[in-house]
Amino acid sequence: MKAPRNLWVFGAGGHGMVVAETAMESGLKVSGFLDDDEGKWGSTVLGLPVSGGRSVVRQGDRVILGIGDNNRRREAGEWLDKTGVSLLTVRSRWAMVSISAVVGDGVVMIGPVVVNAAARIGKGVILNTASTVDHECVISDYVHIAPGVNLAGNVTVGQNSFIGIGAKVIPGIKIGKDCAIGAGCVIVRDVKDGSRVV
């Protein structure tokens, strides 16, 4: 008889805690945390063990990405892909996701997120607390949409970009890859790859 598969949250920091609670509230049984920081090994977070680092992962385990930093989350996700471990998508019970939306692996939706018709959400994306993604938006892999962000219809966000807390983006805007949009910004024109907007 096979041992039950473990379900790990990769990342034992603040974002990882939120992700773990979201998973548990949605009915998933979390085995514990993994973290690359050896200083956290053997500790507990939310009453769950930080069981170690990557060497703990076994074939058949499932992992939820709990890392807020886009570069670190992408690197962890790509490593997990190579090992053949399943990346789980976690959706808050309060999230509203259109039946025509397409959501990739390893996505986390926290709190009352809204994803509207024909939106496409890439792999490893964070849709943080109360963010909204309107119709036909395309959110590329490993993007972080911070709490309270509102993306109007037909917005495109390139890979690895960060949209800061409370930012607003008007319809049809294209934000390039590796961009950082500051908190509270209102984006009314396209943003080139690698740009910082404050």
DSSP string for 4-19: PPPEEEE--SHHHHHH
Q: Note the pLDDT of residue 77.
A: 96
Q: Identity (one letter) of the amino acid at 166?
A: G
Task: Determine whether 135 is an active site residue.
Answer: yes
The average pLDDT across 152-160 equals 99
Q: For residue range 37-46, what is the model confidence (pLDDT) as tens digits? A: 999 999 999 9
Q: Is 81 annotated as a binding residue?
A: no
Domains of the chain: 7-88 (3.40.50.20), 89-191 (2.160.10.10)
The average pLDDT across 53-78 equals 96
Q: What are the structure tokens assigned to 78, written together?
A: 């790509």
Q: What are the structure tokens assigned to 64, written together?
A: 């939820």
Query: For 31-61, b where at least 16 C-beta lie within 10 A, e where not — what string?
Result: bbbbbbeeebbeeebeebebbbeeebbeeeb
Q: Please list the alpha-helical segments (H only) found in 70-169.
A: 70-83
C-alpha span between 157 and 173 (Å, rounded): 9
Q: Is 134 annotated as a binding residue?
A: no
Q: Note the pLDDT of residue 3.
A: 56
Q: Note the pLDDT of residue 1.
A: 43
Query: For 172-191, b where at least 16 C-beta lie within 10 A, e where not — what string?
Result: ebbbbbebbbeeebebeeeb
Question: What pTM value is reported for the model?
Answer: 0.95
C-alpha span between 65 and 104 (Å, rounded): 13
C-alpha span between 51 and 41 (Å, rounded): 6
The average pLDDT across 156-170 equals 99
C-alpha span between 4 and 14 (Å, rounded): 27
The average pLDDT across 166-178 equals 99
Q: Is 175 annotated as a binding residue?
A: no
Residue in 72, 135, 168, 174 annotated catalytic: 135
Q: For residue range 13-46, what is the model confidence (pLDDT) as tens digits? A: 999 999 999 999 999 999 999 999 999 999 999 9
Mean of all residue pLDDT scores within the chain: 97
Q: Is 68 annotated as a binding residue?
A: yes
Q: For residue range 92-149, what is the model confidence (pLDDT) as tens digits? A: 999 999 999 999 999 999 999 999 999 999 999 999 999 999 999 999 999 999 999 9
Q: Note the pLDDT of residue 59.
A: 87
Q: Is 105 annotated as a binding residue?
A: no
